[in-house]
Amino acid sequence: MSVGVSRGGARRVFAHDWGDMARVRDAASWDAGQYARDSRFVSDLGEPLIELLAPAAGERILDLGCGDGALSAKLAARGCSVVGIDSSASMAAAARARGLDCRVADAAALPFRAEFDGVFSNAALHWILAPDTVLAAVARALKPGGRFVGEFGGAGNVSAIVRALRAALAGGGADFDELSPWYFPSPEEYRGRLERVGFRVTAIDLFARPTPLPGDISAWLKIFAAPFIEAPDGGADAMYDELRERLRPELWDGEKWTVDYVRLRFAAVLDAA
Ligand code: BEZ
Nearest CA to ligand 1 atom 7: 224
Q: What's the gap in Å between 126 CA and the centre of ligand 1? A: 7
Q: What's the gap in Å between 222 CA and the centre of ligand 1? A: 12
- Give, in order, the Cα–Cα distances in Å from 106 to each of 3, 103, 130, 137, 166: 6, 10, 11, 10, 28
pTM of the predicted structure, to 2 decimals: 0.87
Q: Is the CB of 263 under 6 A from ligand 1?
A: no
Q: Look at the chain and count its residues.
A: 273
How many CA atoms, within 13 angstroms, populate the side-chain half-sphere of residue 269?
Answer: 8
Per-residue pLDDT of the chain (273 residues; tens, 9 = 90+): 444 332 222 223 333 433 332 333 344 446 777 766 667 777 777 788 999 999 999 999 999 999 999 999 999 999 999 999 999 899 999 999 999 999 999 998 999 999 999 999 999 999 999 999 999 999 999 999 999 999 999 999 999 999 999 999 888 788 899 889 999 999 999 999 999 999 999 999 999 999 999 999 999 998 889 888 866 666 788 889 999 999 999 999 999 999 999 999 999 999 986
130 CA to centre of own chain? 13
Closest CA to 224 of 31, 10, 23: 31
DSSP label at residue 129: S
3-class state of residue 63 by DSSP? strand
Domain boundaries defined on the chain: 7-270
DSSP label at residue 156: T
Q: Supply the pLDDT for residue 27.
A: 45
Q: Is the CB of 16 under 6 A from ligand 1?
A: no
Q: What's the gap in Å between 224 CA and the centre of ligand 1? A: 6
Find out whether 63 and 83 touch, Cβ atoms under 8 Å: yes
Q: Is the CB of 158 under 6 A from ligand 1?
A: yes
Q: Give the H or E element holding residue 98.
A: none
Nearest CA to ligand 1 atom 5: 224
**Distance in angstroms (rounded) separating the CA atoms of residues 186 and 51:** 23
- Give, in order, the Cα–Cα distances in Å from 150 to each of 176, 188, 220, 247: 26, 15, 22, 29
Q: Is the CB of 261 under 6 A from ligand 1?
A: yes
**Distance in angstroms (rounded) separating the CA atoms of residues 81 and 75:** 8
Is the torsion defined by CA of 4, 6, 11, 16 positive or negative? negative
3-class state of residue 135 by DSSP? helix
Q: What superfamily does domain 7-270 belong to in CATH?
A: Vaccinia Virus protein VP39 (3.40.50.150)
